[in-house]
Structure 1
């Protein structure tokens, strides 16, 4: 499923017509982030890959905010963040499970011939190219670090 700025705008129109305030608000927020991405630095039209990166970044913000609200004992705010996160995840590609990430890391280590932490950079580059938004970068880095120290 390819997500573009135009498809998000179309979904926003449908959400407004359906009077779905949470969905409309979430899509407005994403479209604003995309517009900011377009106007930051050199003006450029965002590609579908850029849109996915913005969606992933916004989803990560919602996850972190939800955890912070849970920790602060504010379940009503956490549920709002979780509702927005659910909408954003509907546009993101399916996330890889730990076993699939471990398999990709094993392949990348074999391809690069890495034998220790000194080769973490090339391994991460190879792994990130294969997971491309389907796994959390921090978790992938931790798994690569663990695999290279064994």
Structure 2
């Protein structure tokens, strides 16, 4: 079983004992989503699978924050923001932009001439450690620099 899933389960037990309702709800929901993913994949989850589930949960909360902000519901936006922060501590350490930029440049030098090719080469190197949107933005900058330079 995935060590991260064990950690989530242990933290859920601790949150229940501490009667932390919001953390209990967030962790319980995330564990349920992980179990559903396990059924979907028809195999035991590994840490990468659990990281994907956590990442998707955080992404959903960020999208909800945007919608609540647009609707003028600061209270609900803050609740979603707090839940996202609770989940972020279960993600592996993020890669800094300089390391991403170096990998993108290496992919371009290796013959990747469009955004799809660059993303295809760089994403697998940083799976679970960097956001696709961040890599995409850096790749677009570097490709633009290549075409003008």
* TM-score band, normalised by shorter chain: 0.7 to 0.9
What is the Cα-based RMSD across aligned positions, in Å? 1.8
Q: Secondary structure at the match of 2:128?
A: coil
Runs of 4+ in 1 over 3 A off after TM superposition: 96-100
What is the aligned partner in structure 2 of residue 20 from structure 1?
20
What is the aligned partner in structure 1 of residue 32 from structure 2?
32
List runs of 5+ in structure 1 lacking aligned partners.
none
What is the aligned partner in structure 1 of residue 4 from structure 2?
4
Q: TM-score, normalised by structure 2?
A: 0.86
List runs of 5+ in structure 2 lacking aligned partners.
none
* Matched residue count: 144
Contact kept? 1:62, 1:81, Cα under 8 Å: yes
Q: TM-score, normalised by structure 1?
A: 0.85
The CA distance in 1 between the partners of 2:54 and 2:117, in whole Å, is 26
The CA distance in 2 between the partners of 1:75 and 1:3, in whole Å, is 35
